[in-house]
Copies of this chain bind each other. A is one copy, B any other.
Amino acid sequence: MSSLSYVQFVAGATGGWAIDSLRTVVGEPLPAASRLAVVESAGTSGIDVVWRLAGVVSSERYVTAAERDELRARQPLLGRSDADRAALIPIRKNDAWWSLAQDERRAIFQKRSGHVTTGLRALPAVARRLHHCRDLGEPFDFLTWFEYAQADAGVFEELVQTLRQTEEWAYVDREIDIRLSRS
């Protein structure tokens, strides 16, 4: 358990991030809210909670050791003082994706969709943390949290637009794109 961490994203009237936009890319929407709190523990007793999504920082599912080492060498930490823009992108993949075997999903993920290659192009501008939630019975499979400086907004935009055009994204049946700023 020591290498796991449970993280909650709580939208409502309070929290350290202002929600600048909340756009449904595909599937059922999420309600609008004004602020978001990132809570790195299990317990919270929030008032005026509009929605709450949770996930765990878990083991790597697709990247190879070489890819992991390259990502680690180039990726920045969360919480950089100049990174005052963030995005939270909850996604769910369909049953066709989850019924694929590991080698089939890996082939789509990197060989045919270049997920790691595209991610590396956004480094070191965009910090990223992936939270798994499929096994938790949550409404999404993944919650990805990104942080970047306003000056790097174009790098982030290219990252998400490129991924959305891949074969991998054809399996995404629910996606919300939430943009935030620290305040």
How far, in angstroms, from A137 to B54 measured CA to CA in the complex? 13
Please, how many residues of chain A have a CB less than 8 angstroms from a CB on the other chain?
32
- A182 at the A/B interface (Cβ < 8 Å)? no
A137, B103: Cβ atoms closer than 8 Å? no
A2 at the interface (CB under 8 A from B): yes
A134 contacts chain B at the CB level, 8 A cutoff: yes
On chain B, the residues within 8 Å of A65 by CB distance are 100-101, 103-104
Given A62-B102, A63-B102, A68-B101, verify A135-B137 contact (CB < 8 Å): no
Complex: how many Å from CA A94 to CA B151? 41
Counting chain B CB atoms within 10 Å of each CB, which of A1, A101, A104, A137 scores highest?
A: A101
Known: A101-B68, A106-B102. A6 touches B137 (CB 8 A): yes
Q: How far is the CB of A149 from chain B (nearest CB, A)?
A: 29
User: A56 to chain B: which residues have CB within 8 Å?
Assistant: 135, 137
Residues of A within 8 A of B (CB): 1-4, 6, 42, 56, 58-65, 67-68, 95, 98-104, 106, 132-137
